[in-house]
Amino acid sequence: MRSTITRRHLTAGLVGGAVLALAIPAMASAHVSVSPDELVAGDHGVLTFSFAHGCETSPTTSLKVTMPEGLASVAPTADSDWTIDIERGDDGLVSAVTYTALAPVPNDLRGAVSMAVGLDEDTPDTLAFPVIQTCVEGSTEWTEIAEDGQDPHSLDAPAPVVTVTPASPDAGHGEHDASTEAAEQDRDAPVAAADPLATTLGASGLVAGLAALVVAVLAYRRRA
């Protein structure tokens, strides 16, 4: 009897452990993410913010994305599934964008919104985009930012973060410079002077050809 109970407890423990092992990664990945998560300083790109769940079991009704410092421009992408409300700061730049779903996004469906952003040369190394996810019931604030040395995966509600890499000083210019230099060399190359002998021979050949044509025409007329 004791052996049977022990086997049952062991089986239950293994099943429970397996379920927990599968649930923990799912819970860890259950947040609002951004793609791509890396851009080049001074460049432009389209950021997509996506989510694969609501607030527990409640459908999502809106996402409010707050802009970090360091963006030169922001242009939300028009989408037939969402209405868009734009907030601007005193400097006229976009400070926040709220996407409201025309119909709540069910808990078991993936939702996504996007925007084009422009970076300048002084954009910080990281850009954090705090997001407030509002649902039919409740809301979740994805606003936590990892401190120096802290693992972002340890946060309960991390904000989506984009890493900014330095621009290469020669990126996109090498090929242009090479073609420009070649064109300038062709333009500045001296034009070769005409060879007098070649010109004389060419003219003589033309005269001889015309004379032969006249003789052939006269001979044809005589035979006719």
Domain positions in the chain are 1-30, 31-165, 195-224
Return the pLDDT at 89. Answer: 94
CATH number of this structure's domain 31-165: 2.60.40.2230
pLDDT tens for each residue of 45-89: 999 999 999 998 999 999 999 999 999 999 999 999 999 999 999
| Tokens describing residue 213 | 């044509």
Judged against a pLDDT cut of 60, whether residue 28 lies above it is answered with no
Amino acid present at 216: A
What pLDDT shows up at residue 148?
83
Q: Which residue from 66, 167, 64 is spatially nearest to 125, judged by alpha carbons? A: 167
Return the structure tokens found at 157: 């509600």
Task: Return d(Cα 122, Cα 166) in angstroms, integer.
Answer: 10
What 3-state DSSP class applies to 60? strand
pLDDT at 98 over 80: yes
pLDDT tier for residue 205 given thresholds of 50, 70 and 90: low
Q: In the block, which residue shows the tokens 């005409």?
A: 194
Whole-number Å distance between alpha carbons of 68 and 114:
16
Q: pTM to 2 decimals? A: 0.64
